[in-house]
């Protein structure tokens, strides 16, 4: 179902093609999409998003500075805000998020809100893992989640001046 007020564009990433959707002044969604489902359009928000994503994939951007259309319930917005607070290259559990927002028993609800996040990478739901440290579901597959986490950890490792052992 298409929203006629949204503009769409696509860009390649090291982990698959990305579909960007924006209103005239906010990023609405960012998701992995293998097909062009909409007519390609441009605006300032899409261009800024593409530039920041290129910097992220190149390892020179650790934080995003974009206006987001994160319309959702108050609870979802609390969870999504907390996702944006997870430091680059690190992970936390659903339980950690539930505790941080003052709802320690709402672990499943946090998982549901995490799953409804429509702005991948920028609202980093890929940084949320199970309480036991295991990787849990990701809308675009655990291989993409693993690749994103590995990318961030490698960038951090290189930024500390370390080199990889062969």
Which own/partner pairs from 66-71 qualify as long-range (CB within 8 Å, at least 24 positions apart)?
Answer: 66/27, 66/122, 67/25, 67/26, 67/27, 68/26, 68/27, 68/119, 68/122, 68/123, 69/22, 69/23, 69/26, 69/27, 69/28, 70/119, 70/123
- Of 45, 120, 125, 128, which one is the catalytic site residue? 125
Known catalytic residue at 85: no
How far is residue 30's CA from residue 20's CA, in Å, rounded to a whole number?
5
Instruction: For residue 130, give both structure tokens.
Output: 């199970």
Secondary structure of residue 8 in the 3-state scheme? strand
Question: Would you please indicate which residues are annotated as catalytic (active-site) residues?
Answer: 125
């Amino acid at each position: 179902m298409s929203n006629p007020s949204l503009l769409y564009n696509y860009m390649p990433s090291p982990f698959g093609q990305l579909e960007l959707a924006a209103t005239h002044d906010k990023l609405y969604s960012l998701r992995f999409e293998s097909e062009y489902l909409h007519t390609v359009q441009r605006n300032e928000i899409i261009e800024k998003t593409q530039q920041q994503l290129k910097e992220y994939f190149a390892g020179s951007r650790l934080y995003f500075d974009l206006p987001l259309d994160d319309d959702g319930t108050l609870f979802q917005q609390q969870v999504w805000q907390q996702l944006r607070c997870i430091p680059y290259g690190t992970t936390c559990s659903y339980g950690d998020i539930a505790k941080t927002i003052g709802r320690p028993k709402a672990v499943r609800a946090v998982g549901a809100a995490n799953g409804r996040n429509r702005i991948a990478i920028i609202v980093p739901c890929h940084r949320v893992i199970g309480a036991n440290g295991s990787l849990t579901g990701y809308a675009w597959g655990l291989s993409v989640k693993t690749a994103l986490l590995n990318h961030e950890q490698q960038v951090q490792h290189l930024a500390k001046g370390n080199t990889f052992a062969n």
